[in-house]
Structure 1
């Protein structure tokens, strides 16, 4: 490995330096201004992970491209202090994001992480038994105090750079200025692009692939997708293209809605024999889609539907009765995470020859289904009541 022949950093080192610096300054502000703000909290986590991998690339780049020597007119103690500040920076730029990752992973509030609203990010492995305990408290302390140490180092770093620019010494700040300004020599030849950026990208890709490996394999949308409910006992075939199971509620006072993409149903219904009518439905909650990836990931997590352990929600409709308004009502029995819930289900039905059009609704309680009861038992964030709507068409079997 050759020694640098220039007193300037490489262009890559300069760009990484200023990119990380800008993100750190924004993170400091964001850390003080994100309380009770989900969007800023997610952004804080996203930028933290970005800083982590940019810092990994920066360390690997520094290894392959040593920085220029400090000016000769700096005293030995100034050089030691400068070196110590730099090493402290590198340590904290990697340690603080890792502590933040551990902090989120060990929190009893298991909030999903979606980087910049796009990439699902897993919790650290082997942290299930540490949630809400001493490890979480210690991690929170270290993360908070480490941020203050970073601010102090940042102040020393800036003060040192200014001091060497205004004093009768060789300046060091101009070595990190992009472009031609203050550039006495060309930067040294760069090497190690694949190691620095390839290593950081590969590490990121491996971690980001973990949620994908845990996800259920893709399946067709709509009825018939689960393949678990036998249709032999039914007398109606539900039309896949026109039928849906949807849900809606409020989050932080704002409405949200979504649909379940994979479900199956066996329908045995006769208006002349309501007592003998039954409907069996199996829904895959992992197929819930709200249009917001954070919500979709959260619904699959352990304290919500826990889709890895309970991939199916079973629903049965019995005790059908004709309502005075001209529709029907039934008793809906749900089995959610082995939790039994019974609610009334009201629906309208129009039968025209061999075609039926239906639409029904019911209201469910998150608390009754044990959904989100660790992080939001009082419904302060997500309202306890969730409305489920079913609509579509069916064709009578021959």
Structure 2
């Protein structure tokens, strides 16, 4: 029996990669409830399928598929084309509806970080769909597309097997990889590899990185905090920021993590002999918060956490200093977004090589500061209490 020409190796690789990816996505989607890492992996694989689909469609335009066997009936040819069109539509619609589902989440806003490495934005301009009704409809459509996939898969596999083992000219081995896909007639030489995968890479770069390049002016740094809050302190100490740090410790699902702020300033007016006249103002650029996981770093920037777009600065005011048996205490008022809390701050002072090192810390609760109250008000995932540790190396001004 003479068999029709084979698909090119690139088409075969894309076919099986996307096919197994879609099936794996469905299994993952049905089993990821309550598993944050699986949820992120589901989104990562979905975006990967979308990008591979861009490459596959581009490749298809540049390399028309081998013709169907001549002995196929007209209705069979039309059915085959319809099933293939259905698959191409599904390869686009499934990832897009999943992306739209994540973009319109109204009660559990978790950023998308592809494979824990690359931030992936929400679809712009869909904020009006971020409500229970619209989001529910989109999520339901996304989940039900799995059944459409199974229906198309049954038609596709059934048709391929019929023509492979029936009296007609076979088609199955045209798409089988490896030695089992030999045919009597070679396919035309393929072309456009760089164009196809360049298109996929171009879409990825455009979506993942272009918004950062054209997002306008960056958030104000801590150095401009005086423009945000009129209160100021006349400092009499010079801070060595390279030897100083503000760190925070929290737990997520039982695991302890430590983060830090890389952009902050401290105006310090402090005299051990005049504690009642001492005053400190710390201004922090909230967008500078980093954690060991990019997902958590991105999450902190969102509206329900630090809300860096609307509230780029947090401040800490230290007053009411008092000496204790082993150091000092002060009242620290932390202001973030539109909330503020006052907590005790204990610290010690030590002389090291001619400079003074202040080491101190405190703990704050998330609820009074309106942090994470949309998705985790009950502290089911992130600890309610966050520890803050500060080390400041400074010298008297002048």
Unmatched segments (≥5 aa) in structure 1: none
CA separation of 1:336/1:11 partners in 2, compared to 1, >3 Å: closer, same or farther? same
Residue 273 (structure 1) aligned with residue 266 (structure 2): no
Aligned to 2:364: 364
- Does the aligned pair in 2 maintain the 1:231–1:265 contact within 8 Å? no
How many angstroms apart in 2 are the aligned matches of 1:196 and 1:353?
61
Partner of 2:223, secondary structure, is coil
How many angstroms apart in 2 are the aligned matches of 1:193 and 1:272?
75
How many angstroms apart in 2 are the aligned matches of 1:179 and 1:86?
23
Q: What's the TM-score, normalizing by structure 1? A: 0.91
CA separation of 1:112/1:166 partners in 2, compared to 1, >3 Å: closer, same or farther? same
How many angstroms apart in 2 are the aligned matches of 1:130 and 1:77?
41
- Does the aligned pair in 2 maintain the 1:113–1:121 contact within 8 Å? yes
CA separation of 1:216/1:367 partners in 2, compared to 1, >3 Å: closer, same or farther? farther
Q: Cα distance, 1:70 vs. partner?
A: 1.5
Q: What's the TM-score, normalizing by structure 2? A: 0.91
Aligned to 1:184: 184
Aligned to 2:288: 287
Q: Cα distance, 1:23 vs. partner?
A: 1.2
Aligned to 2:169: 170
Within 5 A, what are the aligned runs for 1:1-398? 7-108=5-106, 109-181=108-180, 182-213=182-213, 214=215, 226=223, 228=225, 233-323=234-324, 325-351=325-351, 355-398=355-398
- Does the aligned pair in 2 maintain the 1:121–1:211 contact within 8 Å? no
- Does the aligned pair in 2 maintain the 1:332–1:342 contact within 8 Å? yes
Unmatched segments (≥5 aa) in structure 2: none
CA separation of 1:218/1:106 partners in 2, compared to 1, >3 Å: closer, same or farther? closer
Q: Cα distance, 1:35 vs. partner?
A: 1.1
How many angstroms apart in 2 are the aligned matches of 1:14 and 1:352?
67
Q: Cα distance, 1:225 vs. partner?
A: 6.2
Partner of 1:45, secondary structure, is helix
In the TM superposition, what whole-angstrom CA distance separates every residue of 1:204-243 from its partner, at most 9, and x where no partner exists? 2111114523497599xxxx96354699821222222221
CA separation of 1:377/1:215 partners in 2, compared to 1, >3 Å: closer, same or farther? farther
Larger mean Cα displacement after TM superposition, 263-272 or 153-162: 153-162
- Does the aligned pair in 1 maintain the 2:222–2:284 contact within 8 Å? no
Larger mean Cα displacement after TM superposition, 355-364 or 68-77: 68-77
Q: Cα distance, 1:25 vs. partner?
A: 2.1
How many angstroms apart in 2 are the aligned matches of 1:349 and 1:369?
29
Partner of 1:161, secondary structure, is helix
- Does the aligned pair in 2 maintain the 1:216–1:286 contact within 8 Å? no
Partner of 1:275, secondary structure, is helix
- Does the aligned pair in 2 maintain the 1:341–1:368 contact within 8 Å? yes
CA separation of 1:304/1:262 partners in 2, compared to 1, >3 Å: closer, same or farther? same
- Does the aligned pair in 2 maintain the 1:284–1:311 contact within 8 Å? yes
